[in-house]
A and B are shown apart, each in its own frame.
Chain A
Amino acid sequence: MAELLLVEAVNDALHVEMERDPAVMVIGEDVGRLGGVFRATAGLQDRFGADRCVDTPLAEAGILGAAVGLCMAGWRPVCEMQYDAFSYPSLDQLINHVGRYRWRTRGKMSFPLVVRMPYGGGVRAPELHDDSPETYYVHTPGVKVAIPSTPADAKGLLAAAIRDPDPVVVLEPKLIYRTARGDVPEGEHVVSLGEARVAREGSDATLVAYGAMVPVSERAADALAAEASCEVLDLRTLKPLDESALLASAAKTGRVVIVQEAPRTCGYGAEVAAVLAEKAIYDLRGPVVRVTGYDVPYPYWQIEDAYMPSVERVVDAVRRVLAA
């Protein structure tokens, strides 16, 4: 075990997987010489050469489109999108091709590419450095989506994504890149996609969260300790969703609060709530409540804390559900 920051665990995963498999390459803007604007790819170009850690032109659709072709030539490209909202031009490729090409070949060709990006707000940044775009990715058929909340999972989920035969988008919570610190297994470490993690056991209510909202939910659980026992379920993979873990926790507590940083309408929390309505309705003892960002453009950073789901808002939601 080594104690690492979340972003260091990402870097560790890339080193280990590139060492393990010579077909893995990293491409993106400023990933090579600079080592990434968050240092996630630091050291890769020195260790593996400029052919395997490639600084590309500033062209996100070009990066992802070229990655499709690289897969066809036998590579496993890991594409960095520099920021969440900078990935939007690449949605053209993601929706039109990345999620469809395997199907187009009737399963004969694989597209084992990874798109990874820092996402989320709370970092006092200019506009469009704060978005939570996970739903766009989750909604695209043929694409898997994972979001770690701990350093160990940041390494393990990224390793699983790189080894997966299908395209995987990994969103990394930049707010906790350098505040989440934890033990990370050295060498190869894989966390299977599609398996949620019970971050904290509890019996009165379940807080469902992912990414930077996991520590917020844990702090809310702490704040509520005197009045309720809260379970915190870290989904880790949004697609495929670990339904059995979700339903088991809902059956156990009977009360569910979903915490999501993205805007509310049709956000990932809506999907979680729909699954609960379809499959857990008789286990529930109160309404499923969402604590989310609002349906507005991400606000000016001087007042961004009002937008982000806070411990206070989560606590308030749990109290409402408990009182129902």
Chain B
Amino acid sequence: MSQVLPAEGGLRRVIGDGRALPDGDVDLTPEQHLALYRDLVLLRTYDERSLVYHRQGRIGTYAIFWNHEAMQAGSVSALEPRDWIFPSYRESAIGLLRGMPASTVLSWWRGHPAGWWNPEDYNVASICVPIGTHVPHAVGFAWGSRLKGEDRVAIAYFGDGATSEGSFHEGATFAGVTKEPVVLFCNNNQWAISTPVAAQTAAPTLADKAIGYGMPGVRVDGADVLAVYEATREAVERARAGEGPTFIEAVTYRTAPHATADDPSIYIDEERVEEEKENECVGRYERYLIRSGVLTDSRAEEIKQEALELMRTAIAEAEAEAPADVSLVFEHALADPPASFADDLAELRRILGG
């Protein structure tokens, strides 16, 4: 087995600052860079428009992921389409990177049944709302795929707070013992609603927890899409080689409220937020690509306009969905529903009339 050591203190980084910090390099073609940039812009646009739609009353409560786009796009770009993604609510729109219509995700936040997809259509599991409880699902999926001789990796996304949960511990324990081909991807944005990561654990870093599960823990700059890509690619390679799971701690700082119902001004460090915004992940990659001659300002603008147009169409489609029929209350919970469901529906229809 590979050597397991406490995580290095520094964060892995590829993208420089264009001044004192030099740019590193990754093994991506210009086309791959542009595709990754398009993914980042798509997620950013989805997120920014969703906040507007929420304020306009067109979607419900929404978990903002502004400045988390690099962690999502960078890691997904290191996967194959056959690999499975297990998202938390912070990654609600990650399916867009697998061809899921944006209207589907908007419908989820609108509480409309059109937002609930078939995971097998995209190899993206359902959005997990209770914290960290999907980690064992990803591990079980990886386990089941391995037993069947399928070459599939599973990746589970969760936040810093999730590493305090029992489900995370149990899932990571399983993954380590039987060396499942799974990537445990922690987006450490340093806040669990109002609880800072220092109140979450006494471990020096979250990646240090990995040693207890017998897996490598790596720390990357979560706003550096190329560092995230590289770390995930290495984790996926290890998984495919039968070397087992990897814990990735991608570190950023939450610049937005936890969700639309949250008021972070009560607890957050506003100066730190402004600092982070200066160095947010999409702009960093955009400047890197322009420095490297892969992207021009006008091409960047075109890509942003395409994403905006996609969102205009998506919200129109989501709002055009026919109202859900009340019969859906009773559908899909069981393959063979009990007779009482039909009785309940008949009574409901009689009382509702029509």
- B137's partner among A65, A105, A110, A165 (CB-CB below 8 A) is A65
Interface residues of B in 133-150 (CB under 8 A from A): 133-145, 147-148, 150
Whether the pair A75, B174 counts as a contact (CB closer than 8 A) is no
Tell me the bound Cα distance from A105 to B145 in angstroms. Answer: 20
Which residues of chain B (116-174) have a CB below 8 Å from chain A? 116-120, 125-126, 130, 133-145, 147-148, 150, 154, 166-167, 169-171, 173-174
Cβ-defined contact, B143 with A70, below 8 A: yes
| A61 interfacial by beta-carbon distance below 8 Å | yes
Q: Cβ of A104: which chain B residues have Cβ within 8 Å of it?
A: 116, 126
B177 beta carbon closer than 8 Å to chain A: yes
Within the complex, what minimum Cβ distance (angstroms) separates B62 from chain A?
Answer: 19
Interface size of A in residues (CB-CB distance below 8 Å): 43
Residues of B within 8 Å of A, CB-based: how many?
43
Q: Does A187 contact B (CB under 8 A)?
A: no
Please give me the residue from chain A that is nearest to B130 by CB atom: A96
Q: A59 near B335 (CB under 8 angstroms)?
A: no
Known: A97-B137, A165-B335, A166-B336. A75 touches B126 (CB 8 A): no
Chain A, Cβ-Cβ closest to B166: A61
Interface string of A47-62 (1 = CB under 8 A from B): 0000100001101011
Contact B140 A69 (CB under 8 A): yes
In the complex, B202 has a CB within 8 A of chain A: no
- Alpha-carbon gap, A26 to B150, bound state (A): 20
> Which of B84, B140, B177, B333 touches A65 (beta carbons < 8 Å)?
B140
Contact A57 B173 (CB under 8 A): yes
Residues A188-202 near B (CB distance < 8 A) = 194
Choice from B116, B143, B334 contacting A142 with Cβ under 8 Å: B334
Known: A69-B144, A110-B335, A165-B336. A105 touches B118 (CB 8 A): yes
Contact in complex: B167, A61 (CB < 8 Å): yes
CA distance A64 to B135 in the complex (A): 12
Q: A62-B173, A74-B144 are in contact. Are A68 and B137 (CB under 8 A)?
A: yes
Cα distance A84–B334 in the bound complex, in angstroms: 25
Chain A, 10-45, CB within 8 A of any chain B CB: none
Closest-CB distance, B181 to chain A (whole angstroms): 11
Contact B171 A66 (CB under 8 A): yes
For this complex, 8 residue pairs linking A to B, each with C-beta atoms less than 8 Å apart, are A61-B166, A61-B170, A65-B170, A102-B333, A107-B335, A141-B333, A165-B336, A166-B336
